[in-house]
Amino acid sequence: MIRASATLLFFFLASAPAWAQFDKMLKGLGNLSNSGSDLSDAKIGSGLQEALKVGTENAVVQTGTTDGLLMNQAIKILMPKSLQTIEKPLRMVGYGPQIDEFVVAMNRAAEKAVPFAKDIF
């Protein structure tokens, strides 16, 4: 479950930088077509592959290290919704450190799994 979640998270993180580069490339294509340049499908495909490769590498570098997920509030893995209802009562009776440890463990597992997801892309 955690590995699957990490893989999905990685996909979303990897796609954001790739889409930014893809958008930049598309804007450049508009300029090229206006100048009469002939851009082949092979070149376009190669550019898309390179954008995905760079985006994936950037995502792995950012998230595949210790605290890569845990210290980034935008992508940190939080307590699962099914457990959030019992989190507050458990903290009130002294289980706060164990809950914090669980959240850290989920993020550490995902951080370790991220580099393996790179091979998928």
Query: Computed from CA positions of residues 34, 36, 40, 44, in that sequence, does the dihedral angle turn out positive or negative?
Result: negative
* Six-digit token string for 60: 């792995």
Q: What is the model's pTM?
A: 0.61
- Res 26: pLDDT: 62
- The per-residue pLDDT for range 84-108, each reduced to its tens digit, is 999 999 999 999 999 999 999 999 9
Residues of the chain with pLDDT under 50: 34, 36
H helices of 1-121, where? 2-34, 41-63, 81-92, 96-118
The full set of domain ranges for the chain reads 2-118
H helices of 35-95, where? 41-63, 81-92
